[in-house]
Amino acid sequence: MKHQVTRDLFTYWEGLRGGRTAPERSDIDPAEIHQILGDTFILEYFSESDLKFRLAGTRLCGSFCRELKGRNFYDLWHKDDLASLKLLLTAVAEDEAAAVIGFKGKTERDQELDFEAILLPLRHYGQPKSRILGAASPADMPYWIGIWPVRELTVSSMRLIWPDERPAFLRNQKLAPGPQKKFSLAPTTAVASRGINNSAFSTERRIGHLTVIEGGRQD
């Protein structure tokens, strides 16, 4: 995690969840993250292709020069990145992983700016696969940000983080007697660019919709 906003939100989320796989939406107190509130957002997960902003901070909306509430998260991204993003968000929503995305925003005047975003699972009334807490912040604050809207976003890197070193469905799985092994989604760190395909996420054996490798987390 390169940005302070990303680190601050992850630390806050980790503190809220305690020993749970994810905290409740109602656990969040905006006053406790007031310094990064303008960069944060909450998404509502309807389906693999429908992920809408329920809330979006003022600084984030300012980068796009528009209100993001009610908009589909996927509508912001270049079409070539959608398949990889949907795969990544499935791991966040269904398997309660954390995700970090590096991306570039581009204006209609071809001005570019690097951003980093973090996506963290939330539960809503005890139900998983419902809400996602996130934050996105630019690497710099050029004079034109807030004047010329950032439009299309393109992914430069993607990374999944298993806070407890393995997916939620494996944490609850009864293991056979003998030494226990740690697992992580392959790869734990994955670099993506325009035109990335799903093969970047497949190396070893399959369990459900995930590919699992032995060896633990690789930070």
Residue 1 confidence (pLDDT)? 80
Instruction: Answer yes or no: is 158 within a domain.
Output: yes
Instruction: Answer yes or no: is 219 within a domain.
Output: no
Residue 216 confidence (pLDDT)? 43
Grouping H, G, I as helix, E, B as strand and the rest as coil, residue 35 is coil
Q: What is the CATH number of the domain that holds 209?
A: 3.30.450.20
For Cα atoms 199, 120, 30, give the angle at the middle one, nearest 5 degrees.
160
Residue 19 confidence (pLDDT)? 84
Residue 205 confidence (pLDDT)? 39
- The residue assigned the tokens 């429908």 is 50
Domain that holds residue 128: 4-214
pLDDT tens digits in sequence order for the chain, 219 residues long: 888 999 999 999 999 998 888 999 999 999 999 999 999 999 998 888 899 999 999 999 999 999 999 999 999 999 999 999 999 999 999 889 999 999 999 998 989 999 999 999 999 888 878 899 999 999 888 888 889 999 889 999 999 998 776 655 555 554 434 443 333 333 343 334 444 444 333 333 344 444 444 444 444
Structural domain tally of the chain?
Answer: 1
Do 200 and 84 form a contact (C-beta atoms < 8 A)? Answer: yes
Instruction: Answer yes or no: is 56 within a domain.
Output: yes
Instruction: Answer yes or no: is 193 within a domain.
Output: yes
The half-sphere exposure of 206 on its side-chain side, counting CA atoms within 13 A, is: 5
- The residue assigned the tokens 């799985």 is 173
Residues contacting residue 97 through CB under 8 Å, at least 6 positions apart: 91, 121, 160, 161, 162, 163, 167, 185
CA distance 33 to 28: 9
Instruction: Answer yes or no: is 78 within a domain.
Output: yes
Grouping H, G, I as helix, E, B as strand and the rest as coil, residue 16 is helix
Residue 55 confidence (pLDDT)? 95
